[in-house]
Chains A and B, each alone.
Chain A
Amino acid sequence: MGKDIYEEFKAKFGDIIHVRREKSNRLYFFVPEKNLRSVVKYIFNEIGCRLSTATALERPDGFEVIYHFSHDKTGKYFCPTVFISNKDQPSMNSITPIVKGAEWIEREIMEMFGIRFKGHPRPEKLLMLNNPGNLDRPLRIGGK
């Protein structure tokens, strides 16, 4: 008790992550895609956080995928963010093999933004699986 989990986390991963916003109960940081799984393993398995959801958003120069992990004992949030610069064929490692609860949200992001999640056990559409229209990445700028 008494030790701040953010301080512990930063002591462990401080040289990998880049913190972009920190408040008493929110920590938003960028993490390189190759280190995402080790960070998620620590947050989910060792600290015991719960994955609330993930958000993808399109920027002019690429994509951000933000995972929202809730540490329910303290009400704090960890938000590891992966930046993907390849706009033509965006892809990143899936965390579903570590966190089962990420399956749906990664499928949804795949469908809405066209981001491929490598190692996802079921890379299918979630919402428009049986949709007859030829719909392509509808939440992207210029998507249809």
Chain B
Amino acid sequence: MMERVIPVGPFHPLLEEAEFFTLKVDGEYVVDIDIEIGWLHRGHEFISEQKTFTQSIYLVERICGICSTSHPIAFVHAVEDVADIEVPVRAKIIRTLIGELERIHSHLLWIGLAGHFIGYDTVWMWAWKYREPVLQMFEIISGNRNHYGMMRIGGVGKDVEPDSISDLEKILSSIEKKMYMFAKVVKDDPVLKSRLKGVGVLKKEDAIAYCAVGPTARASGVAIDVRKDEPRDAYDMVNFNIIVLENGDVYDKFVARVLEVIESAKICKQCLKLLRKEKGPVLNNVKEIPPGEGIGRYEAPRGEVLHYVRTDGSNRAVRHKVRAPSYANIPTCKASCIGIPVADALITTASIDPCYCCTERSVKIVDEKNRELHLDLLKLSWEKTERIRRGL
């Protein structure tokens, strides 16, 4: 048996962000995989501990560009958990509306990318075409296409204009119609089926052992969803199903995301209907946060986001811990990639919708005089790549 090593990354056309997979192969089959992260540190936890709670909301919003509202929602949940703060009903509905619209655009982004990865660019163009109106909806609601800046402790920062609701409904129903068509096409498509069915299976017991979350776990038959398990905001006012599939292969992860988009569209519709009825304030006045600790979580498009906050009665957190879903999902590649051909390994690693800029958020390197070390990240990255190449 002769083992060879195939390095994938740190910069690779198939990977949206910088990460490094070392595939050990025997002939065409992967016998071992090692994952190395560490190219995208920005030090959010460290910075957040020096900012006030309100400033931290804007900071955590910038952890991820794609699911940019999941982190603020989880963070405000954590602070509200410390102080048992009540949120007005209208604010709850707006939070849920934004969270679900984000799931739609994030899943459509991955569906498009997955299509592109397997060389099926029609899927990519369709998915991204339907993603665009969702961003327009965000612009109508918050004024921004991304980084909406809506979350506040005790509510949301801006009300949804009553005049815009009918426009939003019109856009939403057009997306929903297209999604039903898309779901039907994906289910019947022979190309997608033959390329993705049975590829990169993550067994249910492995998903549980690795503590996988989100669609990665749900496609393997683990029925967990923060929206159902701990319904906060408006999730107990709306009807929706969680999508749980059995096979755990890439095809099931694909189908799970397509079906989740439809469920999200249903939730958004109900939220808009509720917004017509529910009037009232959108922000509670929160004066101070007592000493204590709290956990806040939210079902981001990729799975559970968890924020843990320890407070001491001041206006900032003593400790703020962030756990993004990809951090729990990426190690599952060790279970799903071993024993499959190299050609399948890449779409399998991509199938968890890895988001590295969330995963690596915890290091800021300063010396004792508070000067940042290694300012030239690009140079650092080149050097590192070169060192790894020499080592292989």
Contacts and interface: CB of A to CB of B under 8 A. Distances in A.
A84 interface: no
B172 to A, nearest CB: 29
Contacts of A108: 362
A133 B327 contact: no
B318 A100 contact: no
Interface string B347-388: 000000000000010111111100001100000100110011
B169 interface: no
B38 A104 contact: no
Contacts of B323: 52-53, 68, 105
B310 interface: yes
B292 interface: yes
A104 B319 CA distance: 19
Interface stretch (B50-58, B137-145, B208-216): B208-216
Contacts of A127: 37-38, 41, 360, 362-363
A21 B373 contact: no
Contacts of B388: 130
A75 B230 contact: yes
A2 interface: no
B81 A52 contact: no
Contacts, number: 111
A52 B367 contact: no
A105 B37 CA distance: 13
A57 B360 CA distance: 18
Q: Which of A21, A55, A131 has the most CB of B within 10 A?
A: A55
Interface residues of B, number: 49
Contacts of A99: 209, 211
B229 interface: yes
B208 A129 contact: no
B46 interface: yes
B222 to A, nearest CB: 9
A54 B110 CA distance: 28
B36 A129 contact: yes
A9 B362 CA distance: 33
Given A25-B230, A50-B213, A70-B229, 5 more contacts: A55-B308, A57-B318, A100-B211, A133-B373, A135-B373
Interface of A: 21, 23, 25-26, 28, 50-53, 55, 57, 66, 68, 70, 72-75, 77, 79, 99-101, 103-105, 108, 112, 126-133, 135, 138-139, 142, 144
18 contacts: A21-B293, A25-B230, A50-B213, A52-B323, A53-B306, A53-B323, A55-B319, A68-B306, A72-B229, A75-B231, A101-B211, A101-B212, A103-B331, A131-B384, A132-B387, A138-B363, A138-B366, A144-B367
